Amino acid sequence: MIARLPVTLAAVAALFTVASAQLEVLSPGGSNEWWVANTSNLLVWNCKESQVQTFNVLVDNPNMASAEAIIAQQANFDCSLTVTQDQMGGFPVGTGYTVQLANPINDSDIYAQSSPFEIKAANSPFPSTTSVDSATVTSASGTSAGSSSASPTSGSSSDSSKSNDSASLKASMGYATAFAAAIVGMYLL
pTM for the model: 0.60
Mean pLDDT of 27-54: 93
Q: pLDDT for 60-83, tens place per residue?
A: 999 999 999 999 999 999 999 999
The domain 23-155 having CATH identifier 1.10.260: the answer here is no
Q: pLDDT for 93-115, tens place per residue?
A: 999 999 999 999 999 999 999 99
Buried b (16+ CB within 10 A) or exposed e, 16-47: eeebbebbbbbbbbeeebbbbbebbbbbbbbb
Domain boundaries, the chain: 23-155
